[in-house]
Structure 1
Amino acid sequence: MVTDYDAFAQEYDAKARNSPQNTQYDRPALLEMLGDIAGACVLDAGCGSGLYAEELLRRGAEVIAIDGSRRLLDIARDRLGDQVKWRHHDLSEPLEWLPDRSVDHVLMALVIHYLEDPVPTLREIHRVLRDNGTVVLSTHHPASDWRRLGGSYFTDEMYEETWTTGWMMKYRRRPLQTIRLFDFERGGALT
């Protein structure tokens, strides 16, 4: 992962907790896509401050939550305690500590665009996912980058910008059609 969330963890938690983009669109949509998860093991990959993990627990899942920001994990742990298996982990690194076929579902909420190369991560997710498991993910829509930043919509590049919040964000900007299929095929997630 390339953005240092430790630098603004408290502010990010407040924004994620209250932003209509998160509360009205992303969280409800992804959680609905997961369906009935009671008794299932869910890997919350890029869990941030634990907002999805909290809802996964409420729905009866066993939750393994990982994030590259120690401060966001501290916020999440303070909120939910030891009900969740927390792990500090950079998603660009292998998930060596998770056995093959050990999770039923993987949730990647607004995470994949922060990975410089998502293919190794998708391979690892495919490895730890049980047969018939699901991956549910979201990303920001690349058209918003194009409208705001200009250039070609079809550009595939790492980009760095300062948001209106003052946060320095680094993410991968690329067209939606490459996100949809190419990385999943290369990562082994589509069979």
Structure 2
Amino acid sequence: MRAVIYQDKNPTLAQQRDLAEKALLLPLIGVRRHDVVLDAGCGSGRWAEVLIPACGRYFGVDASRGLVDIARQRFGQCHNARFDVASVDRLSDSIVLAAERFTRLISFGVYIYLNDADVESALQQLCSVAAPEAKVVLREPVATGDRLTLTDFYSEDMDQAYSAVYRPESELMEMFERTLGAAGFRLHGRGDVFEAGLNNRAETRQRWFVWSRVR
């Protein structure tokens, strides 16, 4: 299941990126045995496999019922894991999620598929279900130059057409400040996910952002 992102037609590269991402970001998430984790945009459970054994409770949500079904098949036997179909910009519509307060929240590679208003809604939703003391870790492709909008763009790597918005990091930071910053979170750090050898797109790069709130 490691080749569901990062160029499926090159499984070796996909696996290298998956391993590199987890090696970098898992310590930044800093999941503890008592943490309640929200994986907003969990897909087929790429991160569930490392988070479920490390946390108290894990909740994975995704807008794709097909991907959620795969995740349930893979991890449905885990007593501390639950997967639901939910849009990242409407988390509080879920009775289950609205009743929880998450201490670790992640959302990886989701916001490029949302318009600006929905990105801010999604960030506000993370804030609404976060515990008073919480950490939010985001990983997002960003444009290295001007904002790049693709509409029904055919990708040979994915063998399908897709639409996405690659925003400059400065735009994302403004959105983060208006939402996470306004909710009391502070930027703990940010950086590149991959070294040059694993980032073979001159027009985009993968960036990580860690926001934390302490009361």
Normalising by structure 1, we get a TM-score of 0.78
Q: String of CA shifts for 1:122-156, please: whole Å, max 9, x gaps.
A: 0110111011201101012322xxxxxxxxx2236
SS at match of 2:93: coil
1:111 shift after superposition: 1.5
SS at match of 1:131: strand
Q: For 1:80 and 1:40, locate their aligned partners in 2 and report how far apart those are by CA, in whole Å.
A: 18
CA contact (8 A) 1:101 1:131 kept: no
Q: For 1:70 and 1:77, locate their aligned partners in 2 and report how far apart those are by CA, in whole Å.
A: 10
Q: For 2:142 and 2:58, locate their aligned partners in 1 and report how far apart those are by CA, in whole Å.
A: 27
Q: String of CA shifts for 1:5-37, please: whole Å, max 9, x gaps.
A: xxxx9x737949861464233222221211132
* Corresponding residue number in structure 2 for 1:32: 27
- Quick check: which one's helix share is greater? 1
Q: For 1:101 and 1:74, locate their aligned partners in 2 and report how far apart those are by CA, in whole Å.
A: 22
- Quick check: which one's strand share is greater? 2
1:100 shift after superposition: 6.4
Q: For 2:71 and 2:143, locate their aligned partners in 1 and report how far apart those are by CA, in whole Å.
A: 29
Size of the aligned set, in residue pairs, is 173
Q: For 2:151 and 2:181, locate their aligned partners in 1 and report how far apart those are by CA, in whole Å.
A: 26
Q: String of CA shifts for 1:71-94, please: whole Å, max 9, x gaps.
A: 111111111114221110122334
Q: For 1:65 and 1:39, locate their aligned partners in 2 and report how far apart those are by CA, in whole Å.
A: 17
CA contact (8 A) 1:116 1:158 kept: no
Q: For 2:34 and 2:153, locate their aligned partners in 1 and report how far apart those are by CA, in whole Å.
A: 41
SS at match of 1:134: strand
Cα gap change, 1:172/1:61 in structure 2, threshold over 3 Å: closer, same or farther? farther
Cα gap change, 1:52/1:156 in structure 2, threshold over 3 Å: closer, same or farther? same
* Corresponding residue number in structure 2 for 1:6: none
1:61 shift after superposition: 3.5
* Corresponding residue number in structure 2 for 1:126: 127
Q: Which one is further off, 127-136 or 108-117?
A: 108-117
* Corresponding residue number in structure 2 for 1:53: 48
Cα gap change, 1:127/1:167 in structure 2, threshold over 3 Å: closer, same or farther? same
Q: Which one is further off, 39-48 or 79-88?
A: 79-88
Q: For 1:60 and 1:17, locate their aligned partners in 2 and report how far apart those are by CA, in whole Å.
A: 29
1:169 corresponds, among 149, 162, 170, to: 162
The unaligned stretches of length 5 or more in structure 2 are 185-215
SS at match of 1:23: helix
Q: For 1:135 and 1:127, locate their aligned partners in 2 and report how far apart those are by CA, in whole Å.
A: 12
SS at match of 1:123: helix
Q: For 1:169 and 1:102, locate their aligned partners in 2 and report how far apart those are by CA, in whole Å.
A: 34
* Corresponding residue number in structure 2 for 1:150: none
1:54 shift after superposition: 1.4
The unaligned stretches of length 5 or more in structure 1 are 1-8, 144-152
CA contact (8 A) 1:122 1:189 kept: no
Q: For 1:176 and 1:90, locate their aligned partners in 2 and report how far apart those are by CA, in whole Å.
A: 23
2:84 corresponds, among 72, 81, 87, to: 87
